[in-house]
Structure 1
Amino acid sequence: MRKTKVCFYPTCENASNHFLANLARLLCTEGSFECRGFLDMAKAKSAELFKQDVYHFNWFDQSISFFSFWYRLYILLRLRLAGKKIVWTVHNAIPHGGAPWYNGILRFLLLRYASVIHIMSEGSRGLQFLKGFESKVRLIPHGDYFDSYPESALDVRQKFGIDPDSPLVLFLGAIRPYKNLELLVQNFPAHRATLLICGGVRPAGYLEELQKGIAKLDPAVKDKVIFAPGFVPDNELSAYLRAASFLVAPYSYDSALNSGTVLLACSYGKTVVCPDIAGAQDIQKQADCLYTYHYATAEEHAVELAKALQKALDGCESGEILAKGERALGYMRQNSWQAHSLEWYGLYR
């Protein structure tokens, strides 16, 4: 039987993008799919680049240069002329940090050319730009991270000199302005716990801004805020998650719909303090395993974040944090890649 050839943009062959790598693994394991990465094929100048059966675009409407825009426009038009099936996953409401005006053209064409528009949370159905295209929309939740990272023997608390009995609050992942780290640092209850912030920082100016903000903290607070900018290697990541009491992710509503960090934490049986973005709302409805909060202004965000952190730390003392962690793990098992495998296969058939 001929296999369906699925081409993922940007790539499914790089383990650094676990969403696409795990999805491709699921398809290939089923046996009737063959998966390739678009940029990998383009780099190799493959004659098969435009001869795949299905093209699955991710973050495609987020070009950062005019040249990138023209290249993506060429890709879309060529696939359209060839009559290829296009699947588009909507990851964000708007690109994080804004985007050049011409990305609106890419989104305009994706809405019209895609056979399927894939969303990962119920709240995404309400996005204004999806109005009129509801018949194309399919909801399949983001899968798990169960087998994405190896176990690690690293002692994270020992590495950073953290009291083994102190609650450890972890921020893990790419550090970008929309994640509001300055707000987290300013409102962290340092008298009750230690905050460890890990991840690569972009843009460079934001790194300097965070460092200056931490330097101005009261000494008693500064001693409990550990800022370790830089990529956490895949072979150590599980140790950071195991060491944490819970994670925190103070996103902005402007762009965030879903959170890979929240799902990563749930995959390791950890709860998360975060705003009630669309993806978090779905998780709460099914499992009530997070500490979510809502805000309308930057001032409210500071107040509600502080309250949620205090509530989670109360949970560390009462044992509620462990119960939430168990429910988080249960949610991920119910929404694993395998649990929704038939729906994933259906995107490409």
Structure 2
Amino acid sequence: MDIIFNPPVNKENQYIQLLVGELRGRGYRIHPLDTIFSGMKHFRSIKLVHLNWFENVDDSGFFVAFRSFMRKMAVLAIIRLSGKPLVWTMHNRTSHEKGLAFFSRTLTRLLMRWSHRIVIHSRQSMSVLAEHGEGVRRKSVYIPHPHFIGVYGAVRDAANNHGHVLHLLFTGMVKPYKNLELLIDTVGAFGASVRLTIAGKAIDQRYQQQIEKQAATAGNVQFFPYFVPDDQLAALLGEADALVLPYDMSSSLNSGTVILAFSYKRTVICPDIGTIADLGTHRQQVFHYSYATAAEHRAALNEQITRAVAMKQQDPEALARMGELLYGYVAAAYDPRNVGAALEQVYHQLLRRNG
């Protein structure tokens, strides 16, 4: 069966590779969205369209954003008129890009209205959708985010646990909504009791230089300003006691990096976004917090790092045990094979209804 799963490739996010691999293993022929208008025969062969992050618009400039927005509007309109089943995965509460948010908000509303199914990776997403009407909420189907166990190689356990020093890691794209300035400032106050590594490519050169300067001033922060190759990620995770991810709660909902941490036996320091809220009793194995203002975020983040420092000093193995428990949980609850089967069930239901 021919379907659009877009994007079909993302070298910086193995989430896509996991799902595409599962779908191909079930007999689906995956095509990128860019090919949908390559010819009438191909267009007719496409039975279903599944979009990820389609609502995101490049806001580097007004005309760039406007051109992207209009092109996406046209694509959505043609898919709707064609009658092809449309599936959209809701990854964020709102777009992280704030500059020209009108374009992203408009695309998000259309995706909510025109999608036949909305895949959500956290149950908190359902309440967000309910704000847009009961009809939108009823379209949602919860499917867990696939884990990353083994994707980047075997788990690397820290050889010496660094004594009593707490080693924290942030990895992922270096963007303003991830509150790295706040993180560096907060960690800097802990001095030699905490070491922070930030590893990830910055959104642009200007922001990279800003983070580099602040990290150098802090004294206990090292910044590797590049995308971490897949074959180096397991070693990087192995050197950390915990990942620290001070996300913006106003836009963040799911986090693949949180699942990555658990997949490599690491706990996290993270706000109560949807991924954390879904942990149930396993939330006690993470350092979670909430906030409403920037001042509250600073205080809450400081409190959780303080807790982690005290726990590490009292028992150097305590955080590793938390990571072990989280690893066992995601191994069972976030199995990519079950995720692939659940997606296939969604597709089959839509295709049967579509005749």
Q: Does 1:36 align with 2:31?
A: yes
Q: CA deviation at 1:100?
A: 3.6
Change (3 A) 1:297 1:86: same
CA deviation digits over 1:220-256, x for unaligned, max 9? xx1x211121111112111101111111000111110
Higher helix content, 1 or 2: 2
**1:279-294 alignment, distance < 5 Å:** 279-286=275-282, 288-294=284-290
Q: Which consecutive residues of structure 2, in runs of 5 or more, have no partner in the other structure?
A: 59-64, 349-355
Q: Identical aligned pairs, as a percentage? A: 30
Describe the shift of the 1:304–1:7 C-alpha distance in structure 2 as closer, same or farther (beyond 3 A).
same
2-structure distance, mates of 1:103, 1:82: 23
Give the CA deviation at 1:321: 0.8
> Are the counterparts in 2 of residues 283 and 289 from structure 1 also a CA contact under 8 Å?
no
Is the Cα–Cα contact under 8 Å of residues 122 and 275 in structure 2 kept in the other structure?
yes
Distance in 1 (CA, whole Å) between partners of 2:38 and 2:322 is: 46
The residue number in structure 1 matching 2:146 is 143
Contact conserved, 1:173 with 1:200, CA < 8 A, in 2? yes
2:120 paired residue number:
119
Pair 1:301 & 2:297 matched? yes
Tell me which residue corresponds to 1:257. 253
CA displacement, residues 187-223 of structure 1 (integer Å, 9 cap, x when unaligned) = 1123212111110111433223223333444xxxx1x
**TM-score normalised to the size of structure 1?**
0.87
Q: Does 1:168 align with 2:164?
A: no
2:328 to 324, 327, 330: 330
Equivalent residue, structure 2, for 1:77: 77
1:38 is displaced (CA, Å) by: 2.3
Q: Per the alignment, do residues 62 and 340 of structure 1 end up closer, same or farther by CA in structure 2, a change over 3 Å counting?
A: closer
Task: Provide the secondary structure at the position in 1 that maps to 2:29.
Answer: strand
Q: Contact 2:169–2:240 at 8 Å: present in 1 too?
A: yes
Aligned partners of 2:205, 2:250: CA distance in 1, in Å? 22
Change (3 A) 1:45 1:181: farther
| 1:14-42 deviation digits (Å, cap 9, x = unpaired) | 4433212111111222x342223324x46
The aligned counterpart of 2:213 is 212
* Structure 1 Cα separation of the partners of residues 176 and 182 of structure 2: 10
Instruction: Give, as a single letter, the amino acid of the residue that structure 1 aligns with 2:5.
Output: F
8 Å Cα contact 2:95-2:101 kept in structure 1: no
Letter in 1 for 2:198: I
Aligned CA distance change for structure 1 residues 72 and 285 (closer, same or farther; 3 Å): farther
Distance in 1 separating the partners of 2:92 and 2:109: 15
Amino acid at match of 1:88: W
Q: How many residues align?
A: 333
Larger mean CA deviation between 61-70 and 169-178 belongs to: 61-70
Q: TM-score, normalised by structure 2?
A: 0.86
What secondary structure does 2:45 align onto?
Answer: coil
1:69-121, CA deviations, whole angstroms, 9 ceiling, x for partnerless residues? 11111211111111101100111111113244133332232122211011111
Q: Is the 8 A contact 1:287 1:327 kept in 2?
A: no
* TM-align CA RMSD: 2.6
1:244 matched to 2:247? The reply is no
- The aligned runs of 1:223-238 (5 Å cut-off) are 224-238=220-234
What are the ranges of 5 or more consecutive residues in structure 1 without an aligned counterpart? none
SS in 1 for 2:278: helix
What residue number does 1:60 align with?
54
In the superposition, relative to structure 1, how do residues 52 and 288 fare at CA in structure 2: closer, same or farther (>3 Å)? farther
Change beyond 3 A, Cα 1:213–1:284? farther
